[in-house]
Structures are given as C-alpha cells and as structure tokens.
Amino acid sequence: MTREMIIEKLRNIFKMVNGNDNIEVDEATDLRTGLGLNSIGMLYMIIAIEENFGVRFENVSMGDFNTVSDVINYIEEQKK
Amino acid sequence: MQIKANLLEERFTSKETAQKMKKFSCISEMADHIFEEYKEKIALVDNGIEYTYSDIEKKVGAIRNALNENGIKEGDKVGIFYPNSADFVIAAMAVTSYGAVVVALPYHLDEKTLYGCTLKFQISALIYDSMSEEKVELAYKLNSNLKKILSDKIADGFAPSNKVSPDAPCAIVFTAGTTGQSKGALLSHKAILAGTMNGCMGFRDYDVFGQRYFLVLPLTHIFGYVRNMMTALYTGSSMYICRDTKNMFREIPTYNPTIMIMVPALAEMALGLTKMLGTKILGNSLKHIVAGAAVVAPRLAKEYNKLGVTLLAGYGLTESANLVTGNPDTLENPTSVGFLYPNQEIKVVDGELWLKGDNVFTEYYNDPEETAKSFEDGYFKTGDLVKFDDNGYMYIVGRIKDIIVLSSGENVAPEELESKFREIDCVRDCLIYKGTNESGNEALIFEMTPRMDVIKELGIEDVGAYCTQKVTEVNNTLLNYQKVSKIIIRTEDFERTPSMKIKRPKNIL
C-alpha cells in the first residue's frame, strides 16, 4: 500500500472522526491544531485505523503522533 | 430561587430498587454488608481474572492489616497509585473501610508531582504495586516519613473494618490540573455514600441491583470512583475493568454489560463507531448509558434510543460526589440535565447554582482560601449558570468559574496551562478557553499577543509561523486532553478588566 493510498483511506476516517466532509488533509497536517482532534478524537482515530487497516497500536502513546505523516509512518511500519 | 428536594426515592427509582437501598453511616458498614450479602457473586473482572465479593473481602482485609502494621491511624491520608485495575478498587475499599482517608492519585502523574502530592496532601503511606516502583522512588527518597505498602508483596493477614462518624473524612479527589497546585476535594463518608446512592436514581422502570458495569472512566475521576465503582459495589453488581480504552469495543461484546457510565464525548464516539462497525460493538445486553461530567448533546439520547439504549443525561461535579440531577428513564428531556435528586437543597443566585446536602464536599484540602471562596451561607457555589423550566427540569447555560470542563469529562485549569505557554520567548500574553474549531467541534483555543521586541531582535519575518511553531512545541509536551487545537495570534491587545487583567470569556457550554 502506497503512502497516497494510506492517506486516501485516512481522509475518510478523519472526515468521520471530525464530522466534517470538507476537511483538507495532507501529510503535514497537525492532528490537533490542523484537524482539531482532542484526546477522545485521537482515540476514535486509533480505533478506526485499527479496524480499517488491520494494524494494532501497541506500546505507543497518543502523544507520539503529532502529524498525519507520523500516523502514515506507523501504519507503514506495522504493515511491513 | 430556592428548592428543597426531600422527596421519596420512589420518585426516582423502581420499587425493587427502593426496597433494596440501605443507608450506611460509613464505608466500613457498607463494605461489611456487601461482602456478606453478595459473597459468591462476581464483583470484578480484570485482566481475565474474576473476583467474587469474598475474594475482594480477603484482599481488603489484608491491606487493612498492612495499614495497621504500618501504624496508620484513623484519619491519616493514604495515597493509592494504580491504573484502572482491581488493585485500585481493593486498595480504595481497604483504606476507607479502615477509617483512613484515601487520596486517589491520577496514574499519569510524573514522579516529581507525585512527590509534591505526598507533601501537599500530607500523605502518610502510599499503596501501589511493583509495576510503579520507579515512579514512586523519588517520593520515598525525599519524604522519609512516607510508609510504603506494596500490595503485591504484602503478607497474609486480615484486619477487620473500623466504624467512623459519617462526617469523618473519607476521600480526596482531584478537581482539575496535573500539578501539585491542583485542588483536592475532601469528601466525607456521608458525602461519598450519598453520591453512591445517587447512582441508583433515574431508573424508575428498572432494578439497578445486580447489573453488569463496564468501566472505562478513570477511577481517580469522581464519576469513575463514585458513580461507577461505588454504585456498582453498593448494588452487588459486577464491574468489568477495561485497562486500555482503545480495546473497549473488542471487550464490550465479550462481557455484555447492561450499564455503561460515560462522558458525552465517549458516548458520541461509540455512536460514530456503531455506524462503521455495526451495533455489535455495544454487546447484546446494553440497556442504559449514564452520561455526565460534561454537557450532553440532546441528539445523542435520540440516536441511542433508536438502538434500544436509553441514554440518561445528568449533572454533577467532583464537589458533589456524583450526579445531583438526572433524567429519569421514563421522562426523558434530553435538552435538560433532568430533575434534582432527593435530599438536597439548592439556591439559584444571579443565575449560579448553589448546592447543599450530604453529598457536598467538606473543603479543598489544605486550601482554606479557595474553600472560603467556594462556600456561602452553607451552600457550595458551583460556578455553573443554570435555569429551570416550569416542570422542574434543570438546564446548564454557562460557567463562571475558570475551570474548563471538556466533553471528555476532563477538567482543564487554563491558568496552569497558560503559565507554560508564557515561558515562550515570543509570548507576551495569552489566554486559553473552550470554543469550537472550523469544523464546529469542541476545541481548546489558544490566543496570544506576540513580543514584537523579541521578534525584531531575532530578525523573524513571518511572526505567525514563528509563534505557531513555538506554541506547537510546548503544546506537544502537554497531556493529550490539555493540548490546544486552535492557535490565534492577535494583532491587538486583549480586552482587559479595570485592574488590567485579561478579561476571561465565560465558557459557554
């Protein structure tokens, strides 16, 4: 799965988590200041990613993820 | 406006529930009763292990014995330091049924703050397990009077419970903040027990005894401690402890809870996930969700109703030991926070809700100034602006105190956070408040005025980009729920009070 394919899938997740279809997401987007995710929004994102990508977030904290790029890197790493 | 709610419990509970409800004068009375009455029933499920009420009693007795052997006396403060676990429940019941005062220490505290808390709350002993040894090391090094009780290494033994007066101090629960400066509300035995009984209110068509609870809220939060843990034990129910919230929707269908206590943001998230993953993620037995600790969007109750789940919205604070109002299951008015529960008195003064009752806290521990500011005429001034309709339903319309209550139920002390941002070289002044982001979702907003002298000296051209980068760096060091999600760089100064303080916006809910 390419980074572009991952981000496309993530866009749909962020739309759902954010309750907004018009959000703009690129790799540099900050999860909190760009997408407005609070602690429960982050949890929502992680559960949705686990279900949609078949990966598990183990031994990591939500504080480890600041931008969309951090999330993509983690998914790529888990998919290896 | 003044209302006295001394109505019979029957108005708020089913007949079956009212018949089973017992009034206890202290936690030891309640503990002795539940351990005898529900002996072989499952009390807790944690990490794949089931604990009956008898199992809990043995472990509680062993910790009481350890407290005794360490010379802990009635009224001494004992910190408990665990993540959500059976160990937390056992330690809390042991300390309070022994007659000591439990200090529920949030597990995310770092070692310095933990040490600060042992001083501020005059903690005589800490109970924890081997997993947390590193985190408590500093406290022991610097506070030589502190006694150490490692719950996974204590000797066999059993000490009985000790009866204390209903007014005796029982628990200290944090109200907000994560530093040693945060306030700890001291609640008496009668306050905790009144809050525990309030957990039975609202179910007019349903027996709340013998339920299956699923715990996701932190046990150090009043809603987790009293509404979830204490009410579950009081009603002889069983409680599944979810150790990692990201696994909750995998674990719910295996346990099939009947009641869940949630903060609104979690209830909202669960609803969103049912649309993606199906309603199976809520299990097949869920009947009620009790939502409080923050404002509940009215549409949530309607949406859950379609799934056959009744969502009961209510209102309460740490200082009131649990919900004090709630919507009964037969008379929902989801735009309101329901009726005032029995055995309380309230006053509405200039729109602010004042509370009086057994459930109201005694003081902010070791903080006479804040305590004095919070009480008047025997009432606790909640800081919440309310209104009532002709049918007696209460509505929250705003907040006049500075503590921000998020929909996640977490409380943020803005001044504490602002002081961290003020350390940035380019920040002259700043303000944090609750608002909405571009998507219309709840957000912590950060506004600042830049120090143009510093900006000039550094030769910075793009003021906004530089300030945003610096603010983001500090933001990334904060706990997740404290992070701001919108940054505004002001070109004009803040609006100020006559004493030149920044005028803080009312946090409209």
Q: Is B81's pLDDT higher than 90?
A: yes
Candidate from B155-169, B235-249, B286-300 with smallest mean pLDDT: B286-300
Q: Report residue B35 as tokens.
A: 């351990």
How many beta carbons lie within 10 A of that of residue B453, not counting itself? 10
* Contact map slice: A 33-62 vs B, CB within 8 A: 33, 35-44, 46-48, 50-51, 57, 62
Domain range holding B259?
Answer: 1-23+190-396
pLDDT at B505 over 80: no
Please state the rounded mean pLDDT for residues B329-343: 80
Is the domain of B433 the same as that of B463? Answer: yes
Please, where are the H alpha helices in chain A?
3-18, 39-53, 68-79
Interface-testing mutation among A38, A42, A67, with chain B (most B C-beta atoms within 10 A): A38
DSSP code of B326?
E
DSSP state of B448: E
Name the domain count of chain B. Answer: 3
Say yes or no: B463 and B449 in one domain: yes
pLDDT (0 to 100) of residue B9: 52
CB within 8 Å: A38 and B265: yes
User: Does the interface predicted TM-score (ipTM) exceed 0.90?
Assistant: no
Q: Which residues contact A69 (CB under 8 A, 6 or more apart)?
A: A27, A28
- Strands B259-262, B288-291: pairing kind: parallel
3-state DSSP assignment of residue B169: strand
The amino acid present at B66, given as its one-letter code, is A
Task: Assign residue A73 the CATH number of its domain.
Answer: 1.10.1200.10
Residues B206 and B308 in one domain: yes
**Chain A residues with beta carbon closer than 8 angstroms to that of B481:** 38-39
Examine residue B482 and state whether it is found in any structural domain, yes or no: yes
Contact between B265 and A57 using a beta-carbon 8 Å cutoff: no
Give the mean model confidence (pLDDT) for residues B326-351.
Answer: 84
Nearest residue on chain B to A33, judged by CA atoms?
Answer: B485
Does residue B171 lie in a domain region? no
- Cβ contact (<8 Å) for A33 and B484? yes
DSSP state of B230: I
Facing residue for A44 by CB, picked from B272, B440, B442: B272
Residue B297 makes CB contacts below 8 A (sequence gap 6+) with B264, B268
Residue-level pLDDT at B331: 62
Confidence of residue B10 (pLDDT cuts 50, 70, 90): low
pLDDT interval class at B4 (50, 70, 90): low
Q: Which residue carries 């009726």 as its tokens?
A: B339
Structurally, chain A folds into a number of domains equal to 1
Say yes or no: A9 contacts chain B, CB-CB below 8 A.
no
Q: CA nearest A16 in B: which residue? A: B272
Pairing of strands B169-174, B147-150: unpaired
Closest CB from B246, B273, B439 relative to A20: B439
Give the best residue of A30, A35, A40, A45 to mutate against chain B (max B CB count within 10 A): A40
| Range with lowest mean pLDDT among B42-46, B254-258, B277-281, B334-338 | B334-338
Taking the CA of residue B246 and the nearest CA in chain A, the distance in Å comes to: 6
- pLDDT interval class at B506 (50, 70, 90): low
Please give the residue range of the domain that contains residue A42.
3-79
Of A35, A48, A63, the CB nearest to B480: A63
Q: Test B439 with A36 for CB contact under 8 angstroms.
A: yes
Exposed/middle/buried for residue B377 (C-beta within 10 Å: 0-12, 13-18, 19+): exposed
Q: Answer positive or negative: Cα dihedral of B142, B144, B145, B148.
A: positive
pLDDT value at residue B23: 94
Please report residues of A whose CB lies closer than 8 A to that of B443: 36, 38
Q: Which residues in chain B have their CB less than 8 angstroms from residue A46's CB?
A: 246
List all residues of chain B from 445 to 464 with a beta carbon under 8 Å from chain A.
none
In this prediction, residue B255 carries a pLDDT of 96
> Same domain, yes or no, for B377 and B390?
yes
Spatial strand order in the sheet of B123-128: B147-150, B123-128, B77-80, B101-104, B169-174, B184-188, B363-364
Per-residue pLDDT averaged across B186-208, rounded?
94
Do B336 and B196 share a domain, yes or no? yes
Q: In what helix (H) or strand (E) does residue B509 lie, and over which residues does it extend? A: none
- pLDDT band (50, 70, 90) for residue B453: confident
Q: Which residues of B touch A25 (CB under 8 A)?
A: none
What CA–CA distances, in Å, run from B432 to A42, B95, B367, B438? 21, 38, 24, 17
Question: For residues B160 and B13, what is the distance between their CA atoms, to the nearest angstrom?
Answer: 33
The pLDDT value recorded for residue B509 is 42
Q: Mean pLDDT for chain B?
A: 89
Q: Is residue B200 part of a domain?
A: yes
Q: Are residues B298 and B206 in the same domain?
A: yes
Question: CB–CB of B476 and A62 under 8 A?
Answer: no
C-beta neighbour count of B163 within 10 angstroms: 16
Q: Are residues B439 and B320 located together in one domain of the fold?
A: no
- pLDDT value at B297 more than 80: no
Last residue of a domain, one of B147, B164, B181: B164
Residue B448 lies in a domain: yes
Helix (H, G, I), strand (E, B) or coil at B281: helix
Is the residue at B304 inside a domain?
yes
Model pLDDT, residue B423:
84
CA nearest to B436, candidates B508, B334, B491: B508
Strands (E), B230-291: 238-241, 259-262, 288-291
pLDDT at A10 over 90: yes
Output DSSP code: residue B303: H
Report the CATH number at residue B263: 3.40.50.12780
- The pLDDT value given to residue B57: 98
pLDDT of residue B408 exceeding 80: no
Q: Do B439 and A41 touch (CB under 8 A)?
A: no
Residue B505 lies in a domain: no
pLDDT given for residue B90 in this prediction: 98
